[in-house]
Amino acid sequence: MAFKAFRIKQVDGDIQSGFEQLEINDLSAGEVVVRVQYSGINYKDALAATGKGRITRVPAVNGGIDLVGVVDSSTDERFHDGDAVLVCGAGLSETLDGGYSEFARVRGDAVVPLPLGLTAWEAGALGTAGFTAALAMMRMEDNHQDPALGPIVVTGATGGVGSFAIDMLAAKGFEVLAFTGKSEQHDYLRNLGASDFIDRHVIEMGTRPLERAEYGGAVDNVGGDTLGWLTRVIRPMGNIASIGLVGGVKLESTVLPFILRGVSLLGINSVEMPLSMRDRAWNRLATDLKPRHITSIASRTIAFDHLPSAFEDFIKGNVTGRVVVEISSS
């Protein structure tokens, strides 16, 4: 049985991508075959599909680091035909075929049962962005982040991870400061729970090893100079969850924030994650961390056929929140 997939190929050093017809046996090896209903578009997906970032590490792979759907067949006894499931990260669209396909074949250890409290569309809306924001919340909670420490700065605030992080933090009683250069999105961010804003275009980051400690912690989606600045301005015992690198991979800092203020830099990796941690995060996304404004954050759902035309806006930074891709309505 042939089905449609959005495939990314390396050809003579260049990236080419587009729709192809595949068979199940064309897919990466795995114990569980899923009929895909929803995926989403992450910045990483846009980099992979356009070749603007070297994400894929095999000659050809289906794009999409997220998928939500129902089990079509399984040789893993944990899953049965018709089970509602999801997969995010876990090597999809890097070394393994991902969710931009009407069918996917995945390893059983990467599959998470769709938890009660989430619909398939909601899980697609959350995707890696929501999962990553939940991991950041959990890591910060485990390291004793408390609203009493002071406001939390969220950089890349209008993106998927940033939007979900603002929603989750505000719901847990934290004061949230949105770090953004998009003043036209202040109403959107305020609706999610941001109490104030830091304009990334005018902020004076300073150059001293330690600047005035103003903030209780941060969720950073940018990296580079922004992350370096955050290490210098977080209050004693505060946490920084480091997630993104759109601002660069180089970190300029010193040991002083860590040994004099006890600041913790928490790395968040949504790809290499034990199944127990995946289950825990998704169960919390279905309960106490479920975003209150999920339909505002994921306000756009596109058809699978329209996927190729959507990537460029992500590369240009013109997207607010999340875009859901409806792979199949069945």
Summarised one tens digit per residue, pLDDT across range 19-50 is: 999 999 999 999 999 999 999 999 999 999 99
Whole-number pLDDT of residue 292: 98
Q: Cα–Cα–Cα angle for 40, 304, 293, nearest 5°?
A: 35
Alpha carbons 161 and 156: distance in angstroms, whole number: 8
Cβ neighbours of residue 142 closer than 8 Å, sequence gap 6 or more: none
Any domain includes 185: yes
- Same domain, yes or no, for 132 and 260? yes
- Same domain, yes or no, for 24 and 46? yes
What is the DSSP code string of 234-250? EEEEEEEEE---TT-S-
Answer positive or negative: Cα dihedral of 170, 173, 174, 177: positive
Whole-number pLDDT of residue 75: 98
Any domain includes 282: no
- Same domain, yes or no, for 134 and 31? no
- CATH of residue 260's domain is 3.40.50.720
pLDDT confidence band for 271 (50 / 70 / 90): confident
Any domain includes 156: yes
Q: What percent of the chain has pLDDT over 90?
A: 88
- Same domain, yes or no, for 218 and 152? yes
3-class SS of residue 146 = coil
64-95 pLDDT tens trace: 999 999 999 999 999 999 999 999 988 999 99
Do 197 and 186 contact (CB within 8 A), yes or no? Answer: yes
- Same domain, yes or no, for 93 and 132? no
- Same domain, yes or no, for 177 and 199? yes
- Same domain, yes or no, for 142 and 104? no
272-308 pLDDT tens trace: 888 888 999 999 999 999 999 999 999 999 999 999 9
Total domains in the chain come to: 2
Alpha carbons 8 and 18: distance in angstroms, whole number: 7
Any domain includes 286: no
- Same domain, yes or no, for 171 and 248? yes
pLDDT confidence band for 53 (50 / 70 / 90): confident
Containing structural domain, residue 319: 3-114+299-326
pLDDT confidence band for 330 (50 / 70 / 90): low
Any domain includes 287: no
pLDDT at residue 103 greater than cutoff 80:
yes
Whole-number pLDDT of residue 56: 85
- CATH of residue 28's domain is 3.90.180.10
Any domain includes 258: yes
Any domain includes 275: no
Any domain includes 47: yes
C-alpha separations of 55 from 34, 42, 47, 246, 251 in Å: 23, 12, 7, 14, 21
pLDDT at residue 269 greater than cutoff 80:
yes
